[in-house]
Structure 1
Amino acid sequence: MPIAKVNDINMYYEIQGEGEPLIFIPGLGTEISSAGLFTAKLAKKYGVIIFDNRGTGRTDKPDAHYSIEMMAEDTVRLMDKLKIEKAHFMGGSMGACILQVIAAKYPERVNSMVLYLATPRFSDALKNAMMPFLKPQKVEEGKTNQMHPLFMQKYPPTEGSLSRQLEANMKFDGRDLIGQIKAPTLIINATKDRFIPIESTEELAEVIPHAKVILVDGDHLFPMTKSELLIKPAIVFLEEMDLKY
Protein backbone atom coordinates (compact mmCIF):
# COMPACT_ATOMS: atom_id res chain seq x y z
CA MET A 1 0.00 0.00 0.00
CA PRO A 2 1.55 3.37 -1.01
CA ILE A 3 2.18 5.19 2.25
CA ALA A 4 4.65 8.04 2.77
CA LYS A 5 5.81 9.41 6.10
CA VAL A 6 5.05 13.12 5.75
CA ASN A 7 5.61 15.55 8.61
CA ASP A 8 3.84 13.94 11.60
CA ILE A 9 1.53 11.60 9.63
CA ASN A 10 1.51 8.54 7.40
CA MET A 11 -0.06 9.73 4.14
CA TYR A 12 -1.84 7.44 1.68
CA TYR A 13 -1.45 8.29 -2.02
CA GLU A 14 -1.94 6.79 -5.46
CA ILE A 15 -0.41 7.51 -8.87
CA GLN A 16 -2.73 6.99 -11.81
CA GLY A 17 -1.74 7.22 -15.47
CA GLU A 18 1.46 8.49 -17.03
CA GLY A 19 2.73 11.78 -18.38
CA GLU A 20 3.23 15.23 -16.90
CA PRO A 21 2.52 15.19 -13.15
CA LEU A 22 -0.86 16.55 -12.10
CA ILE A 23 -1.47 16.72 -8.36
CA PHE A 24 -5.15 16.48 -7.43
CA ILE A 25 -6.08 17.79 -3.98
CA PRO A 26 -9.44 16.51 -2.66
CA GLY A 27 -11.98 18.60 -0.79
CA LEU A 28 -13.37 18.51 2.71
CA GLY A 29 -13.79 15.01 4.12
CA THR A 30 -13.33 13.23 0.79
CA GLU A 31 -10.96 10.35 0.12
CA ILE A 32 -9.32 9.01 -3.02
CA SER A 33 -12.10 6.72 -4.20
CA SER A 34 -14.60 9.60 -4.14
CA ALA A 35 -12.48 11.47 -6.71
CA GLY A 36 -12.26 8.52 -9.10
CA LEU A 37 -14.76 10.11 -11.47
CA PHE A 38 -12.27 12.92 -12.14
CA THR A 39 -8.93 11.19 -11.86
CA ALA A 40 -9.79 8.37 -14.27
CA LYS A 41 -10.38 10.92 -17.03
CA LEU A 42 -7.39 13.06 -16.14
CA ALA A 43 -5.13 9.99 -15.99
CA LYS A 44 -5.67 9.42 -19.72
CA LYS A 45 -3.41 12.42 -20.33
CA TYR A 46 -1.45 12.97 -17.11
CA GLY A 47 0.30 11.17 -14.33
CA VAL A 48 -2.21 11.99 -11.61
CA ILE A 49 -1.00 12.02 -8.02
CA ILE A 50 -3.89 11.93 -5.57
CA PHE A 51 -3.86 11.43 -1.82
CA ASP A 52 -5.95 11.44 1.31
CA ASN A 53 -5.48 14.67 3.25
CA ARG A 54 -4.79 14.38 6.96
CA GLY A 55 -8.01 13.37 8.64
CA THR A 56 -9.46 11.43 5.70
CA GLY A 57 -9.28 8.05 4.01
CA ARG A 58 -6.26 5.92 4.77
CA THR A 59 -4.10 8.82 5.91
CA ASP A 60 -3.61 9.31 9.65
CA LYS A 61 -6.25 11.27 11.58
CA PRO A 62 -4.36 12.80 14.50
CA ASP A 63 -6.43 14.20 17.33
CA ALA A 64 -4.89 17.64 17.11
CA HIS A 65 -5.39 21.04 15.50
CA TYR A 66 -5.46 21.07 11.67
CA SER A 67 -4.96 24.07 9.39
CA ILE A 68 -5.04 24.68 5.65
CA GLU A 69 -1.38 25.74 5.86
CA MET A 70 -0.53 22.44 7.55
CA MET A 71 -2.22 20.46 4.78
CA ALA A 72 -0.39 22.54 2.17
CA GLU A 73 2.90 21.57 3.83
CA ASP A 74 1.82 17.92 3.78
CA THR A 75 1.31 18.17 0.02
CA VAL A 76 4.67 19.78 -0.67
CA ARG A 77 6.50 17.28 1.52
CA LEU A 78 4.76 14.44 -0.34
CA MET A 79 6.09 15.96 -3.58
CA ASP A 80 9.56 15.83 -2.04
CA LYS A 81 9.13 12.16 -1.11
CA LEU A 82 8.01 11.35 -4.67
CA LYS A 83 10.81 13.49 -6.16
CA ILE A 84 8.38 15.74 -8.01
CA GLU A 85 9.96 19.15 -8.39
CA LYS A 86 7.11 20.85 -10.22
CA ALA A 87 3.60 19.90 -11.32
CA HIS A 88 0.23 21.03 -12.55
CA PHE A 89 -2.34 21.18 -9.76
CA MET A 90 -6.07 20.82 -9.41
CA GLY A 91 -8.03 21.36 -6.20
CA GLY A 92 -11.66 21.80 -5.24
CA SER A 93 -13.34 23.45 -2.25
CA MET A 94 -10.96 22.80 0.68
CA GLY A 95 -8.47 21.49 -1.87
CA ALA A 96 -8.65 24.86 -3.62
CA CYS A 97 -7.77 26.59 -0.33
CA ILE A 98 -4.79 24.27 0.14
CA LEU A 99 -3.70 24.96 -3.42
CA GLN A 100 -3.82 28.73 -2.94
CA VAL A 101 -1.34 28.40 -0.08
CA ILE A 102 0.99 26.15 -2.09
CA ALA A 103 0.96 28.48 -5.10
CA ALA A 104 1.67 31.53 -2.93
CA LYS A 105 4.38 30.01 -0.73
CA TYR A 106 6.00 27.64 -3.23
CA PRO A 107 5.62 29.27 -6.67
CA GLU A 108 8.56 27.28 -8.01
CA ARG A 109 6.61 24.03 -7.50
CA VAL A 110 3.52 25.02 -9.52
CA ASN A 111 3.34 24.97 -13.33
CA SER A 112 -0.35 25.88 -13.42
CA MET A 113 -3.46 25.31 -11.36
CA VAL A 114 -7.16 24.68 -11.70
CA LEU A 115 -9.24 25.90 -8.77
CA TYR A 116 -12.88 24.88 -8.58
CA LEU A 117 -15.54 25.60 -5.99
CA ALA A 118 -12.94 28.09 -4.83
CA THR A 119 -13.01 30.98 -2.38
CA PRO A 120 -10.22 33.02 -0.77
CA ARG A 121 -12.01 33.04 2.60
CA PHE A 122 -15.12 31.90 4.40
CA SER A 123 -17.43 34.71 5.49
CA ASP A 124 -19.64 34.41 8.58
CA ALA A 125 -22.65 33.89 6.30
CA LEU A 126 -20.82 31.11 4.48
CA LYS A 127 -19.79 29.47 7.74
CA ASN A 128 -23.38 29.54 8.96
CA ALA A 129 -24.55 27.94 5.71
CA MET A 130 -21.96 25.15 5.85
CA MET A 131 -22.19 24.10 9.48
CA PRO A 132 -25.66 22.47 9.45
CA PHE A 133 -24.90 20.82 6.12
CA LEU A 134 -21.78 19.05 7.39
CA LYS A 135 -22.41 18.46 11.08
CA PRO A 136 -23.77 14.99 11.94
CA GLN A 137 -27.32 15.29 13.21
CA LYS A 138 -28.13 14.14 16.74
CA VAL A 139 -30.91 11.56 16.74
CA GLU A 140 -30.96 10.93 20.49
CA GLU A 141 -28.76 11.68 23.45
CA GLY A 142 -25.23 10.41 22.94
CA LYS A 143 -25.78 9.16 19.37
CA THR A 144 -25.39 10.68 15.93
CA ASN A 145 -26.82 10.08 12.50
CA GLN A 146 -23.91 9.26 10.19
CA MET A 147 -25.91 8.99 6.98
CA HIS A 148 -24.24 12.07 5.49
CA PRO A 149 -22.48 11.04 2.22
CA LEU A 150 -19.05 11.85 3.66
CA PHE A 151 -19.54 9.16 6.28
CA MET A 152 -20.73 6.65 3.66
CA GLN A 153 -17.46 6.60 1.72
CA LYS A 154 -15.37 3.44 1.57
CA TYR A 155 -12.85 5.01 3.96
CA PRO A 156 -14.82 7.71 5.78
CA PRO A 157 -13.46 10.32 8.14
CA THR A 158 -14.30 10.12 11.81
CA GLU A 159 -16.62 12.73 13.26
CA GLY A 160 -13.58 14.19 15.04
CA SER A 161 -11.33 14.36 12.00
CA LEU A 162 -14.09 15.86 9.84
CA SER A 163 -14.70 18.46 12.53
CA ARG A 164 -10.99 19.33 12.59
CA GLN A 165 -10.91 19.71 8.79
CA LEU A 166 -14.03 21.85 8.93
CA GLU A 167 -12.46 24.08 11.58
CA ALA A 168 -9.38 24.49 9.35
CA ASN A 169 -11.66 25.48 6.48
CA MET A 170 -13.59 28.00 8.56
CA LYS A 171 -10.43 29.70 9.83
CA PHE A 172 -8.82 29.98 6.40
CA ASP A 173 -8.33 33.47 4.99
CA GLY A 174 -6.07 33.60 1.95
CA ARG A 175 -6.52 37.25 1.05
CA ASP A 176 -2.99 38.17 2.14
CA LEU A 177 -1.56 35.27 0.12
CA ILE A 178 -3.31 35.20 -3.23
CA GLY A 179 -1.69 38.38 -4.48
CA GLN A 180 1.60 36.44 -4.42
CA ILE A 181 0.31 33.76 -6.80
CA LYS A 182 2.13 33.79 -10.12
CA ALA A 183 1.05 30.48 -11.67
CA PRO A 184 -1.39 30.52 -14.60
CA THR A 185 -4.79 29.91 -13.02
CA LEU A 186 -8.19 28.68 -14.13
CA ILE A 187 -11.13 29.14 -11.73
CA ILE A 188 -14.26 27.05 -12.34
CA ASN A 189 -17.10 28.00 -10.01
CA ALA A 190 -20.88 27.61 -10.09
CA THR A 191 -23.59 30.23 -10.39
CA LYS A 192 -25.94 28.54 -7.89
CA ASP A 193 -23.42 27.53 -5.24
CA ARG A 194 -24.94 28.32 -1.83
CA PHE A 195 -21.53 28.02 -0.18
CA ILE A 196 -19.37 29.94 -2.68
CA PRO A 197 -21.21 33.10 -3.81
CA ILE A 198 -20.32 34.95 -6.99
CA GLU A 199 -18.73 37.68 -4.84
CA SER A 200 -16.16 35.16 -3.60
CA THR A 201 -15.30 34.20 -7.17
CA GLU A 202 -14.85 37.85 -8.09
CA GLU A 203 -12.68 38.50 -5.04
CA LEU A 204 -10.42 35.60 -5.96
CA ALA A 205 -10.21 36.46 -9.66
CA GLU A 206 -9.47 40.14 -9.07
CA VAL A 207 -6.34 39.40 -7.07
CA ILE A 208 -4.75 36.42 -8.87
CA PRO A 209 -2.96 37.95 -11.88
CA HIS A 210 -4.53 37.02 -15.23
CA ALA A 211 -6.77 34.34 -13.73
CA LYS A 212 -9.28 32.91 -16.18
CA VAL A 213 -12.78 32.37 -14.81
CA ILE A 214 -15.49 29.98 -16.00
CA LEU A 215 -18.91 30.08 -14.32
CA VAL A 216 -21.03 27.00 -14.87
CA ASP A 217 -24.75 26.54 -14.39
CA GLY A 218 -24.82 24.42 -11.25
CA ASP A 219 -24.41 24.24 -7.48
CA HIS A 220 -21.67 23.04 -5.11
CA LEU A 221 -22.20 19.47 -6.30
CA PHE A 222 -21.79 20.16 -10.02
CA PRO A 223 -18.41 18.35 -10.20
CA MET A 224 -20.28 15.16 -9.27
CA THR A 225 -23.56 15.75 -11.12
CA LYS A 226 -22.16 17.50 -14.22
CA SER A 227 -18.52 16.41 -14.19
CA GLU A 228 -17.86 17.29 -17.84
CA LEU A 229 -18.40 20.96 -16.97
CA LEU A 230 -15.28 20.64 -14.85
CA ILE A 231 -13.14 18.09 -16.70
CA LYS A 232 -13.42 19.43 -20.25
CA PRO A 233 -12.31 23.03 -19.58
CA ALA A 234 -9.69 21.81 -17.11
CA ILE A 235 -8.07 19.55 -19.71
CA VAL A 236 -8.17 22.28 -22.39
CA PHE A 237 -6.48 24.69 -19.98
CA LEU A 238 -3.85 22.17 -18.88
CA GLU A 239 -3.03 21.24 -22.47
CA GLU A 240 -2.53 24.93 -23.26
CA MET A 241 -0.16 25.16 -20.30
CA ASP A 242 1.76 22.08 -21.48
CA LEU A 243 2.68 23.95 -24.65
CA LYS A 244 4.45 26.56 -22.53
CA TYR A 245 6.70 24.09 -20.70
Structure 2
Amino acid sequence: MSDHPDPVAGTARVNGIELHFEIGGDGPPLLLISGLGQHSGAWAGVLPRLRQRFRTLVFDNRGTGRSAVPPGPYPIDAMADDAAALLEHLGIPVTAAVGWSLGGSVLQSMLIRHGRRLSAAVLLNAFPSYTELQHIWLDALIALRRSDASPEAKAAFAMPWGLTPLGLADHALAMQGVRAAAADPYPTSHAAFEAQAAGLRVYDARPGLPTVKTPTLVLAGAEDVLTPVAQSAEIASLIPGARLHVMGKGGHRMIVEYPDEVLRLIDGFVR
Protein backbone atom coordinates (compact mmCIF):
# COMPACT_ATOMS: atom_id res chain seq x y z
CA MET A 1 0.00 0.00 0.00
CA SER A 2 1.30 3.47 -0.90
CA ASP A 3 2.05 5.99 1.84
CA HIS A 4 1.17 8.80 -0.56
CA PRO A 5 -2.34 10.29 -0.67
CA ASP A 6 -4.40 9.29 -3.67
CA PRO A 7 -4.52 11.96 -6.39
CA VAL A 8 -7.55 14.24 -6.31
CA ALA A 9 -9.06 15.35 -9.61
CA GLY A 10 -11.56 18.12 -10.14
CA THR A 11 -12.71 21.12 -12.12
CA ALA A 12 -12.24 24.69 -10.91
CA ARG A 13 -13.88 27.79 -12.31
CA VAL A 14 -11.09 30.36 -12.39
CA ASN A 15 -10.30 33.43 -14.48
CA GLY A 16 -13.73 33.09 -16.12
CA ILE A 17 -13.29 29.50 -17.38
CA GLU A 18 -13.32 25.95 -16.09
CA LEU A 19 -9.98 24.15 -15.75
CA HIS A 20 -9.54 20.45 -15.08
CA PHE A 21 -6.79 19.61 -12.59
CA GLU A 22 -5.30 16.74 -10.63
CA ILE A 23 -3.15 16.98 -7.52
CA GLY A 24 -1.42 14.23 -5.60
CA GLY A 25 1.74 13.10 -3.85
CA ASP A 26 3.73 14.13 -0.81
CA GLY A 27 6.21 16.92 -0.26
CA PRO A 28 6.54 20.58 -1.26
CA PRO A 29 4.16 21.76 -4.00
CA LEU A 30 5.16 21.52 -7.66
CA LEU A 31 3.16 22.87 -10.61
CA LEU A 32 3.60 21.36 -14.11
CA ILE A 33 2.56 23.35 -17.20
CA SER A 34 2.15 21.52 -20.52
CA GLY A 35 3.12 22.48 -24.06
CA LEU A 36 1.30 23.52 -27.23
CA GLY A 37 -1.90 21.55 -27.74
CA GLN A 38 -0.98 19.21 -24.89
CA HIS A 39 -3.05 18.45 -21.82
CA SER A 40 -1.85 17.19 -18.46
CA GLY A 41 -1.39 13.69 -19.86
CA ALA A 42 1.88 14.90 -21.39
CA TRP A 43 3.44 14.36 -17.94
CA ALA A 44 2.07 10.83 -17.43
CA GLY A 45 5.44 9.12 -17.88
CA VAL A 46 7.09 11.03 -15.02
CA LEU A 47 4.17 11.96 -12.80
CA PRO A 48 4.30 8.90 -10.51
CA ARG A 49 7.96 9.56 -9.75
CA LEU A 50 7.44 13.27 -9.14
CA ARG A 51 4.63 12.47 -6.73
CA GLN A 52 7.05 10.50 -4.60
CA ARG A 53 8.90 13.75 -3.87
CA PHE A 54 6.38 16.55 -4.43
CA ARG A 55 2.72 17.43 -3.97
CA THR A 56 2.34 17.71 -7.73
CA LEU A 57 -0.36 19.70 -9.53
CA VAL A 58 -1.10 19.14 -13.21
CA PHE A 59 -3.90 20.80 -15.15
CA ASP A 60 -5.28 21.06 -18.67
CA ASN A 61 -4.50 24.46 -20.17
CA ARG A 62 -7.51 26.26 -21.64
CA GLY A 63 -8.59 24.54 -24.85
CA THR A 64 -7.09 21.14 -23.97
CA GLY A 65 -8.07 17.95 -22.22
CA ARG A 66 -11.12 18.36 -20.04
CA SER A 67 -10.83 22.12 -19.60
CA ALA A 68 -13.08 24.68 -21.24
CA VAL A 69 -12.56 25.73 -24.86
CA PRO A 70 -13.35 29.46 -24.92
CA PRO A 71 -13.14 31.49 -28.15
CA GLY A 72 -9.56 32.30 -29.17
CA PRO A 73 -6.96 33.56 -29.43
CA TYR A 74 -5.44 32.57 -26.08
CA PRO A 75 -2.81 35.14 -25.05
CA ILE A 76 0.06 33.65 -23.06
CA ASP A 77 -0.55 36.19 -20.30
CA ALA A 78 -4.15 34.96 -20.02
CA MET A 79 -2.93 31.37 -19.69
CA ALA A 80 -0.49 32.47 -16.98
CA ASP A 81 -3.36 34.18 -15.20
CA ASP A 82 -5.31 30.89 -15.46
CA ALA A 83 -2.53 29.04 -13.65
CA ALA A 84 -2.16 31.71 -10.98
CA ALA A 85 -5.93 31.74 -10.38
CA LEU A 86 -5.93 27.94 -10.08
CA LEU A 87 -3.25 28.14 -7.38
CA GLU A 88 -5.36 30.71 -5.56
CA HIS A 89 -8.46 28.51 -5.86
CA LEU A 90 -6.59 25.50 -4.44
CA GLY A 91 -5.10 27.47 -1.58
CA ILE A 92 -1.49 27.10 -2.73
CA PRO A 93 0.18 30.43 -1.91
CA VAL A 94 3.64 29.56 -3.24
CA THR A 95 4.92 26.71 -5.41
CA ALA A 96 7.82 25.60 -7.53
CA ALA A 97 6.91 25.14 -11.20
CA VAL A 98 8.13 23.47 -14.37
CA GLY A 99 7.00 24.77 -17.76
CA TRP A 100 7.68 22.73 -20.89
CA SER A 101 7.76 24.40 -24.33
CA LEU A 102 4.59 26.56 -24.53
CA GLY A 103 4.36 25.82 -20.82
CA GLY A 104 7.74 27.52 -20.54
CA SER A 105 6.24 30.64 -22.11
CA VAL A 106 3.32 30.48 -19.67
CA LEU A 107 5.79 30.10 -16.81
CA GLN A 108 7.86 33.05 -18.04
CA SER A 109 4.68 35.13 -17.96
CA MET A 110 3.98 33.88 -14.44
CA LEU A 111 7.52 34.83 -13.39
CA ILE A 112 6.91 38.34 -14.71
CA ARG A 113 3.28 38.79 -13.59
CA HIS A 114 2.89 36.44 -10.60
CA GLY A 115 6.41 35.98 -9.29
CA ARG A 116 5.31 36.12 -5.64
CA ARG A 117 3.59 32.75 -6.17
CA LEU A 118 6.76 31.00 -7.36
CA SER A 119 9.51 29.71 -5.11
CA ALA A 120 11.53 28.26 -8.01
CA ALA A 121 11.03 27.84 -11.74
CA VAL A 122 12.38 25.38 -14.30
CA LEU A 123 12.03 26.45 -17.94
CA LEU A 124 12.24 23.17 -19.86
CA ASN A 125 13.01 23.37 -23.59
CA ALA A 126 11.65 26.91 -23.60
CA PHE A 127 12.12 30.03 -25.74
CA PRO A 128 11.67 33.78 -25.17
CA SER A 129 9.99 34.54 -28.52
CA TYR A 130 9.38 32.83 -31.86
CA THR A 131 11.99 32.71 -34.61
CA GLU A 132 11.13 32.89 -38.31
CA LEU A 133 11.68 29.14 -38.65
CA GLN A 134 9.37 28.42 -35.72
CA HIS A 135 6.65 30.47 -37.42
CA ILE A 136 7.03 28.41 -40.61
CA TRP A 137 7.06 25.15 -38.62
CA LEU A 138 3.84 26.19 -36.92
CA ASP A 139 2.24 27.11 -40.27
CA ALA A 140 3.06 23.63 -41.59
CA LEU A 141 1.77 21.94 -38.44
CA ILE A 142 -1.54 23.81 -38.59
CA ALA A 143 -1.96 22.95 -42.27
CA LEU A 144 -1.33 19.28 -41.50
CA ARG A 145 -3.82 19.32 -38.63
CA ARG A 146 -6.46 20.76 -40.98
CA SER A 147 -5.77 18.07 -43.59
CA ASP A 148 -7.35 14.65 -44.04
CA ALA A 149 -4.16 12.89 -42.95
CA SER A 150 -4.64 10.13 -40.39
CA PRO A 151 -4.03 10.81 -36.68
CA GLU A 152 -1.01 8.51 -36.94
CA ALA A 153 0.45 10.54 -39.81
CA LYS A 154 -0.04 13.77 -37.89
CA ALA A 155 1.67 12.32 -34.83
CA ALA A 156 4.56 10.96 -36.89
CA PHE A 157 5.18 14.38 -38.47
CA ALA A 158 5.91 15.90 -35.08
CA MET A 159 8.37 13.23 -33.96
CA PRO A 160 11.54 14.43 -35.75
CA TRP A 161 11.10 17.83 -34.10
CA GLY A 162 10.80 16.29 -30.65
CA LEU A 163 12.94 13.16 -30.54
CA THR A 164 16.65 12.63 -31.08
CA PRO A 165 17.98 10.60 -34.03
CA LEU A 166 18.63 7.78 -31.57
CA GLY A 167 14.98 7.75 -30.56
CA LEU A 168 13.74 7.96 -34.13
CA ALA A 169 15.98 5.13 -35.29
CA ASP A 170 14.01 2.61 -33.24
CA HIS A 171 10.95 2.52 -35.49
CA ALA A 172 9.08 -0.03 -33.38
CA LEU A 173 9.44 2.11 -30.27
CA ALA A 174 8.64 5.29 -32.18
CA MET A 175 5.45 3.68 -33.50
CA GLN A 176 4.36 3.00 -29.94
CA GLY A 177 4.51 6.74 -29.37
CA VAL A 178 2.64 7.43 -32.62
CA ARG A 179 -0.16 5.04 -31.68
CA ALA A 180 -0.41 6.45 -28.17
CA ALA A 181 -0.72 9.99 -29.51
CA ALA A 182 -3.33 8.94 -32.08
CA ALA A 183 -5.36 7.20 -29.36
CA ASP A 184 -5.49 10.27 -27.07
CA PRO A 185 -8.91 10.17 -25.38
CA TYR A 186 -8.96 13.96 -25.07
CA PRO A 187 -7.62 15.29 -28.39
CA THR A 188 -7.25 19.04 -28.78
CA SER A 189 -9.58 20.51 -31.40
CA HIS A 190 -8.19 22.41 -34.39
CA ALA A 191 -9.81 25.63 -33.12
CA ALA A 192 -8.27 25.32 -29.66
CA PHE A 193 -4.84 24.40 -31.03
CA GLU A 194 -4.88 27.42 -33.31
CA ALA A 195 -6.09 29.63 -30.46
CA GLN A 196 -3.08 28.58 -28.36
CA ALA A 197 -0.78 28.93 -31.36
CA ALA A 198 -2.02 32.45 -32.06
CA GLY A 199 -1.10 33.55 -28.57
CA LEU A 200 2.22 31.74 -28.54
CA ARG A 201 3.58 33.07 -31.80
CA VAL A 202 3.24 36.73 -30.78
CA TYR A 203 4.47 36.34 -27.21
CA ASP A 204 7.79 37.97 -26.35
CA ALA A 205 8.98 37.53 -22.78
CA ARG A 206 12.24 39.42 -23.24
CA PRO A 207 11.17 42.89 -22.05
CA GLY A 208 9.93 41.51 -18.73
CA LEU A 209 12.57 38.91 -17.93
CA PRO A 210 15.05 41.33 -16.30
CA THR A 211 12.42 42.02 -13.61
CA VAL A 212 12.24 38.36 -12.50
CA LYS A 213 13.37 37.68 -8.93
CA THR A 214 12.49 33.95 -8.65
CA PRO A 215 15.38 31.45 -8.71
CA THR A 216 15.23 29.98 -12.21
CA LEU A 217 16.82 27.00 -13.94
CA VAL A 218 16.82 27.15 -17.74
CA LEU A 219 17.13 23.52 -18.83
CA ALA A 220 17.88 22.65 -22.46
CA GLY A 221 18.96 19.67 -24.53
CA ALA A 222 21.92 19.93 -26.88
CA GLU A 223 19.95 18.06 -29.57
CA ASP A 224 16.81 20.21 -29.42
CA VAL A 225 16.18 21.48 -32.95
CA LEU A 226 12.74 22.98 -32.26
CA THR A 227 13.83 25.28 -29.44
CA PRO A 228 17.62 25.42 -29.84
CA VAL A 229 20.05 25.99 -26.98
CA ALA A 230 20.62 29.57 -28.15
CA GLN A 231 17.07 30.44 -27.13
CA SER A 232 17.55 29.00 -23.65
CA ALA A 233 20.84 30.90 -23.36
CA GLU A 234 19.03 34.11 -24.26
CA ILE A 235 16.46 33.53 -21.52
CA ALA A 236 19.17 32.79 -18.96
CA SER A 237 21.08 35.92 -19.93
CA LEU A 238 18.02 38.09 -19.27
CA ILE A 239 16.85 36.66 -15.93
CA PRO A 240 19.04 37.93 -13.07
CA GLY A 241 20.87 35.03 -11.44
CA ALA A 242 19.33 32.37 -13.69
CA ARG A 243 21.21 29.09 -14.10
CA LEU A 244 21.56 27.60 -17.60
CA HIS A 245 22.10 23.85 -17.84
CA VAL A 246 22.51 22.18 -21.24
CA MET A 247 22.25 18.39 -21.23
CA GLY A 248 24.75 16.82 -23.60
CA LYS A 249 21.95 14.75 -25.12
CA GLY A 250 18.23 15.20 -25.54
CA GLY A 251 15.85 17.03 -27.81
CA HIS A 252 12.58 18.86 -27.30
CA ARG A 253 11.00 15.79 -25.68
CA MET A 254 14.02 14.89 -23.56
CA ILE A 255 11.84 14.40 -20.48
CA VAL A 256 10.28 11.49 -22.42
CA GLU A 257 13.52 10.07 -23.84
CA TYR A 258 15.80 10.75 -20.86
CA PRO A 259 13.54 11.11 -17.83
CA ASP A 260 16.15 10.00 -15.27
CA GLU A 261 18.56 12.81 -16.13
CA VAL A 262 15.89 15.48 -16.49
CA LEU A 263 14.14 14.59 -13.24
CA ARG A 264 17.44 14.51 -11.37
CA LEU A 265 18.19 18.06 -12.51
CA ILE A 266 14.70 19.32 -11.72
CA ASP A 267 14.71 17.70 -8.29
CA GLY A 268 18.16 18.95 -7.43
CA PHE A 269 17.31 22.54 -8.32
CA VAL A 270 13.81 22.72 -6.85
CA ARG A 271 14.66 21.03 -3.56
TM-score (norm 2): 0.82
Which secondary structure does the structure 2 equivalent of 1:235 belong to?
helix
Note if 1:108 corresponds to 2:113: no
Contact 2:121 2:215 in 1 (8 A): yes
Which secondary structure does the structure 2 equivalent of 1:3 belong to?
strand
What is the CA distance between 1:189 and its match in structure 2? 0.7
Q: Which residue of 1 aligns with 2:242?
A: 211
Note if 1:237 corresponds to 2:242: no
Give me the whole-angstrom Cα distance separating, in 2, the residues matched to 1:81 and 1:88: 17
What is the CA distance between 1:202 and its match in structure 2? 1.6
Aligned letter for 1:175?
R
1:65 aligned residue (70, 73, 79): 73
Give me the whole-angstrom Cα distance separating, in 2, the residues matched to 1:66 and 1:86: 25
Contact 1:130 1:195 in 2 (8 A): no
- Note closer, same or farther for the CA distance 1:105–1:138 as it changes in structure 2 (3 Å cut): closer
What is the CA distance between 1:59 and its match in structure 2? 0.2
Q: Which residue of 2 aligns with 1:50?
A: 58
Give me the whole-angstrom Cα distance separating, in 2, the residues matched to 1:23 and 1:134: 28
Q: Could you give the per-residue CA deviations for residues 112-162 of structure 1, whole angstroms, max 9, x where no partner exists?
A: 0111011111111222134324543565xxx45433345642211001111
Aligned letter for 2:206?
R
2:214 aligned residue (171, 183, 193): 183
Give me the whole-angstrom Cα distance separating, in 1, the residues matched to 2:74 and 2:182: 19
Give me the whole-angstrom Cα distance separating, in 2, the residues matched to 1:131 and 1:152: 24
Q: Which residue of 2 aligns with 1:78?
A: 86
Note if 1:146 corresponds to 2:151: yes
Q: Which residue of 2 aligns with 1:226?
A: 258
What is the CA distance between 1:219 and its match in structure 2? 1.5
Q: Which residue of 2 aligns with 1:94?
A: 102
Give me the whole-angstrom Cα distance separating, in 2, the residues matched to 1:3 and 1:138: 30
Note if 1:23 corresponds to 2:55: no
Q: Which residue of 2 aligns with 1:165?
A: 196
Q: Could you give the per-residue CA deviations for residues 60-112 of structure 1, whole angstroms, max 9, x where no partner exists?
A: 11122211001000001111110111111111000010001111112211100
Q: Which residue of 2 aligns with 1:123?
A: 131
Q: Could you give the per-residue CA deviations for residues 200-223 of structure 1, whole angstroms, max 9, x where no partner exists?
A: 122111011111111121221222
Contact 2:73 2:194 in 1 (8 A): no
Q: Which residue of 2 aligns with 1:243?
A: none
The size of the alignment, in residue pairs, is 236
Contact 1:33 1:154 in 2 (8 A): no
Give me the whole-angstrom Cα distance separating, in 2, the residues matched to 1:182 and 1:38: 28
TM-score (norm 1): 0.90
Give me the whole-angstrom Cα distance separating, in 1, the residues matched to 2:135 and 2:76: 16
Aligned letter for 1:211?
A
Q: Superposition RMSD on alpha carbons, in Å?
A: 1.7
- Note closer, same or farther for the CA distance 1:137–1:21 as it changes in structure 2 (3 Å cut): closer
Aligned letter for 1:225?
E
Q: Which residue of 1 aligns with 2:161?
A: none
Which segments of 5 or more consecutive residues in structure 2 lack a partner in the other structure?
1-8, 156-180
Contact 1:138 1:145 in 2 (8 A): no
Which secondary structure does the structure 2 equivalent of 1:136 belong to?
helix
Q: Which residue of 2 aligns with 1:242?
A: none
Aligned letter for 2:88?
D
What is the CA distance between 1:11 and its match in structure 2? 0.5
Which segments of 5 or more consecutive residues in structure 1 lack a partner in the other structure?
240-245
Which secondary structure does the structure 2 equivalent of 1:193 belong to?
coil
Q: Could you give the per-residue CA deviations for residues 173-232 of structure 1, whole angstroms, max 9, x where no partner exists?
A: 101111111111111111122221222122111011111111121221222111222111
